[in-house]
Amino acid sequence: MYKQVIILRKDLNAGKGKLIAHGIHAAIGAMKKIDDEIVEKWEAEGSKKVVLKVNNLKELKEVENKLKKNKIPYFLVKDAGLTQLKAGTVTALGIGPIEEKKIDKITGRLKLL
């Protein structure tokens, strides 16, 4: 089974629409880093995805470091600074789709958004 995980920061002073858009950026960006064959299998299984939250940038960076250590592709979203946030603000992280058991080892302790 394959799964995609999107992680959003809880501490940002941004509107719901902004966070949703950044979650979508994370999902698409992460999917583009995955082999087409895996994406097709994931889609055939129903395209499971989960949206999780972290309290702040430090927690998001901890997840990123674990992904790097385990050589798991991911996509980090940074705001362009055109509306609610300063340019370069890290807002979201997308992972996968990859094997569910691999992703759960890294994100299993995080809470649903």
Residue 51 has pLDDT above 90, yes or no: yes
Structural domain boundaries in the chain: 2-112
Architecture of domain 2-112: 3-Layer(aba) Sandwich (3.40)
The confidence band for 93, taking pLDDT boundaries of 50, 70 and 90, is very high
Question: Residue holding tokens 């789709």?
Answer: 97
Entry pTM: 0.95
Mean pLDDT of 16-31: 96
Residues 6+ apart with CB under 8 A from 20: none
Give CA angle at 27 (42, 45), nearest 5°. 15
Residue 69 has pLDDT above 90, yes or no: yes
| Per-chain mean pLDDT for the chain | 96
